[in-house]
A and B are shown apart, each in its own frame.
Chain A
Amino acid sequence: MDLNKSDETSKFSPLGKMLSWFTKTKNANNIFLGLALLCFLLFLADFTYHKHGHFHIEEIPGFYGAYGFFMFTALILVAKALRLLIKRPENYYGDKAIDGEDYPADQLEQGSK
């Protein structure tokens, strides 16, 4: 496997160059701000139409946004706590599991750009 960590973008296809834009540290703030703006606009959009949900709670503006944000955060925190309980070394189940073994190389078609 080629481990040359080169960001020599000329080697990447046009599509690869486009996508690698998202991975650049300098763009991280823009992505964050763009997403925050989008969220704000979606929140505002709630005032533009008559909401008709099955439950009253759905009619609160931004209900889905708030629910999504807080439940997602809660999910991550609970999962993080869960990890403390159930995490084990990769070879925990020994040779009776695939976790500690390599995928057979003869079934791979490795190659680097």
Chain B
Amino acid sequence: MISILPTAFIFIAAALVLGLLPRGHVRGVILLITPILAAWQIWNLPVGIFVQVEFVGQTLDMMRVDKLSRIFGLIFCLAAFLGNLYAWHVRDFIQQIAALLYAGAAIGAVFAGDLITLFFYWEGTALASVFLIWARRTEGSYHTGMRYLIIQITSGVILLAGTALLYRETGSITFELMTLGSLGTWLIFLSFGMKCAFPLLHNWLQDSYPAATITGTVILSAFTTKLAVYALARGFAGTELLIYIGAAMTLFPIFFAEIENDLRRVLAYSLNNQLGFMVVGIGVGTEMAINGTASHAFAHILYKALLFMSVGAVMLRTGTSKASELGGLCRTMPRTAIFCLIGAASISAFPLFSGFVTKSLIMDETANQHYPIIWAILVFASAGVLSHSGIKIPYFTFFGHDSGLRPKEAPIHMQIAMGFTAFLCIFIGVYPEPLYALLPYEVIYRPYTMSHVVGQLQLLCFALLAFVVLMRTGIHPPEIRAVNLDVDWIYRRLIPTLYNIIYAGVAKVLQLLETLVNTMTQLLVKELYKLHGPETGVSRMRGVGAMVIWVAILLGIALTLSYF
């Protein structure tokens, strides 16, 4: 019974039912039950391929269950549950529907056994999620949503093009391990890379996530990019190029995050950096590295959601997420502050928190496979994570200089959502075995060794010390109201400016041409007038009598000639 319905359809069915129900708590309950039902189904499904459909001569595998798709399916259900719990107060129908369909599409994509099914769900995530941005209902969010949608849809179109080329080449649409080489595989790689926020393709993430609604950002943070991580792990595990791409991804966002004022954008940069660790794991591609990527994605979805939740709660109470306007909120929002600190400790990978037991799988395997420079970059990036997510987010929101704001504590349902997520972050950190058991391959790894714990604590505590020293000496850059340029400047400023210049240029040329044509025509008309106008010889009036004489003369000549 449970194997005849693709998990995604549970979400779609729930979205259809939702509209028939009265507003309020009933809808809220549906939003919570749906992911639980889905998780129950995923948990109970055996490994295998279910629900095959014929579609234009192809067999589509709607439900491919194996250990890799299962762990992503489960964490997506958990993320949908936590996000919807956090959004319990939201009565906006559009956001509720979007949250359901978005989670459903992401889960559908994870279980897609072929590239066509993947494409449908891939675009589904794009279409559903943009409403979480538009639901803010401001001019800015409308334009941001448009930019987001164009990029996401483009990624899907490229995926479809790649699939078509691959099919022509191999005759198969099965979504399995690929080797970069043909144009088709490169296009699929590029499509995954766009959604995974590869360097230079990343900026839709930092542009759009801060523009979504408070609860929308929490939901957005879980799915799209981790779906891309899953797709890369499925399709391109062991592709060495990914190691270098991933290392670059861990590196560059930490500088931008450091000087960004909007804390939700700081978190988006931080998300990008965390994806880098996962991408490195995929590139290394060994069983332990893929385990590292899958477990890190699992832990990351939780602590990243927790951080977005805590900043969102502050935003709900104060109306802003800008570091320059916040500070000192631990006085009246102490629980939110503690939840935020737990998220911060988890992402910074302090021992006993979730990031520690998952990230170290990737880092150790990178070292095991002898990538010393990549390893050194990852250690540096770990200190960087501490700087923006571990310190900046909690410090400039809840501690630091007193903004004078005394907001109320977060609403109770938000506290429950944050508390539960925080509990999971600590639980995974203290007792990682259940998570390890879910991983695609067998885990032979002990995160808690003396050298590992002391090494990590040294790294983090000395970095913290550096922060304190820099703050006390006034070297640490202050939080100021400003935006920072990034790659999106190219399509938000440069291209529109160039377009305007070119447009103006072309318009000028056209105008000149028009003037030229007009002048020429006028000249022509004038000349014609001179020749054929009423005063000229050609059109002068002549008397009828004169004409008759001339005709008579002509006829006389003709008559005379006819005699010869």
Q: Say whether B497 faces chain A, with CB atoms less than 8 Å apart.
A: no
Taking the closest CB of chain A, its distance from the CB of B444, in whole angstroms, is 16
B407 touches A112 (CB 8 A): yes
> Can you name the residue of chain B whose Cβ is closest to the Cβ of A87?
B482
> Can you name the residue of chain B whose Cβ is closest to the Cβ of A105?
B319
State in angstroms the CA–CA spacing of A2 and B319 once bound together.
12
Contacts of B460 in A (CB 8 A): 68
B315 touches A103 (CB 8 A): yes
Please tell me which one of the listed residues A51, A55, A63, A92 contacts residue B372 in the complex, with CB atoms under 8 A apart: A55
Interface of B, helix, strand, loop or mixed by DSSP = helix
State in angstroms the CA–CA spacing of A70 and B454 once bound together.
18
Q: Say whether B456 faces chain A, with CB atoms less than 8 Å apart.
A: yes
Q: How many A-B residue pairs have CB under 8 A?
A: 258
**How many B residues touch the partner, as a band?**
35 or more
Q: Say whether B499 faces chain A, with CB atoms less than 8 Å apart.
A: no
B467 touches A72 (CB 8 A): yes
Contacts of A9 in B (CB 8 A): 331
Q: Beyond the given A7-B331, A19-B337, please list 20 additional residue pairs across the A-B interface where CB-CB is below 8 A.
A: A12-B334, A13-B334, A15-B335, A28-B472, A39-B461, A42-B461, A43-B458, A51-B451, A54-B375, A68-B383, A68-B463, A70-B466, A72-B383, A83-B259, A86-B486, A98-B140, A101-B138, A107-B214, A110-B316, A110-B319
Residues on A facing B (Cβ under 8 Å) = 1-7, 9, 11-13, 15-16, 18-20, 22-23, 28, 31-32, 35-36, 38-39, 42-43, 45-46, 49-55, 58, 62-73, 75-80, 82-83, 85-90, 92-93, 95-105, 107-113
Residues on B facing A (Cβ under 8 Å) = 89, 136-141, 143-144, 210-211, 213-214, 254-256, 258-259, 262, 315-320, 328, 330-335, 337-338, 364, 367-368, 372, 375, 379-380, 383-384, 386-387, 398-400, 402, 404-409, 411, 450-451, 454-470, 472, 475-477, 480-486, 492-493
**What are 15 A-B residue pairs whose CB atoms fall within 8 Å in the complex?**
A1-B319, A1-B405, A3-B404, A42-B458, A65-B462, A68-B383, A72-B384, A77-B475, A83-B477, A90-B483, A93-B492, A103-B214, A108-B316, A110-B407, A111-B408
Contacts of A85 in B (CB 8 A): 485
State in angstroms the CA–CA spacing of A2 and B318 once bound together.
10
